Structure 1
Amino acid sequence: MTTRCFRGEYCQDDDPREAENREISLYLIFTAEAVILASAVLLFHVCVTHRRKMRQIRRTLKTYLEKKLEELVEIIYKDEKKDSEFGKSNTQSLTGQPPNAESEMKTGT
Structure 2
Amino acid sequence: MVAKRVFPCSVPCSLGCLEKIEQLNFAGNFLYGKVPEVVCELGNLANLSLSNNYFTMVGPICRKLIKSGVLDLRKNCIRDLADQRSVEECASFSLHPRSCQHPESFSFMPCKVPPK
Common fold, TM-score beyond 0.5? no
Q: 1 or 2, which has the higher strand percentage? A: 2
Normalized against structure 2, the TM-score is what? 0.17
Normalized against structure 1, the TM-score is what? 0.17
Q: Which has the larger radius of gyration?
A: 1
Q: Which has the higher contact order (CA 8 A, sep 6+)?
A: 2
Q: 1 or 2, which has the higher helix percentage? A: 1
